[in-house]
Amino acid sequence: MDIDLDQLPMPDWDLLCPTCRYPLKGLPAHRCPECGAALDIPAIVRPWSRLRPPQFTGEEEAFPDFGLHCGACAEPLAGAEHRECPHCQSPFNPREFVPRHEWFAVTAAMCGGLPTQIVELILEQQYIPFVTHDHKTMFDIYMGSRSVGAQMLVHREFYFDMLWHIRAKQTELAQRQAAGSGKTWTCPACREEVPDHFDLCWSCQHERMPD
Ligand SMILES: [Zn+2]
Ligand SMILES: [Zn+2]
Ligand SMILES: [Zn+2]
């Protein structure tokens, strides 16, 4: 998904001038009318900024493949119509899947086996608002271990978007595996072995170098 961060007038992204806190919504230029500061929008935007509405509401006519399962028979709900399980016909309410908290913690089950770094990249690339919540211990800080206990919080409004994109990535990975393209490249920065189809290192997000 591509969003032009430099578009004018400025959309309602709930951004403030970093110098004087003036709200930037509706500005015709990238200059703060209050304090005169030049505004570098990509630098002001944060991972939790809401730059777009959700693509999915869970109310779609044919239930998209969110990787969700029927509570009654445990079969996948993908493709369900009329809010009924396609396997056992039990009714379901899409809203009941949505986490209760406004910002919910992304669990391993939601990631469906994808490393958290990949999920973080998906969230970034799809402009899904999220916060990283670091529970670092003194040991982690002194010993330099990375992403220990790092927890991602995603806005509830984007629950279905997150699931759909995780599911799409899982499918893509499965297809590549089936096609036998198990190639990897070695990250020049952290030496991580990264699957061929990623252009950024999934561990440190360093760019891939030409072979
Ligand atoms: Zn200002
Ligand atoms: Zn069922
Ligand atoms: Zn790396």
| Structure confidence at residue 144 (pLDDT) | 56
Which residues have a beta carbon within 5 Å of ligand 2, which is an ion? 70, 72-73, 85, 87-88, 90
**CATH of the domain spanning 99-179, picked from 3.30.70, 1.10.3470, 1.10.760, 1.10.287:** 3.30.70
Quote the ligand 2 centre to 56 CA distance (angstroms). 22
Residue type at position 39: L
Report residues of the chain scoring pLDDT below 70.
134-150, 180-181, 211
| Structure confidence at residue 112 (pLDDT) | 87
Asked whether the beta carbons of 6 and 28 are under 8 A apart, the reply is no
Q: What is the pLDDT of residues 55-101, one digit of tens each?
A: 999 999 999 999 999 999 999 999 999 999 999 999 999 999 999 99
Ligand closest to Cα of 68 equals 2
Neighbours of 113 (CB within 10 A): 10
| Structure confidence at residue 133 (pLDDT) | 73
Does the pTM surpass 0.75? The reply is yes
Ligand closest to Cα of 27 equals 1
Residue ranges of the chain that CATH labels 3.30.70: 99-179
Which residues have a beta carbon within 5 Å of ligand 3, which is an ion? 187, 189-190, 192, 201, 203-204, 206
| Structure confidence at residue 97 (pLDDT) | 96
Pairwise CA distance, residues 13 & 62, whole Å: 31
Quote the ligand 1 centre to 38 CA distance (angstroms). 8
| Structure confidence at residue 145 (pLDDT) | 52
Exposure of 41 in the CB half-sphere (CA atoms within 13 A): 22
| Structure confidence at residue 115 (pLDDT) | 85
Quote the ligand 3 centre to 154 CA distance (angstroms). 24
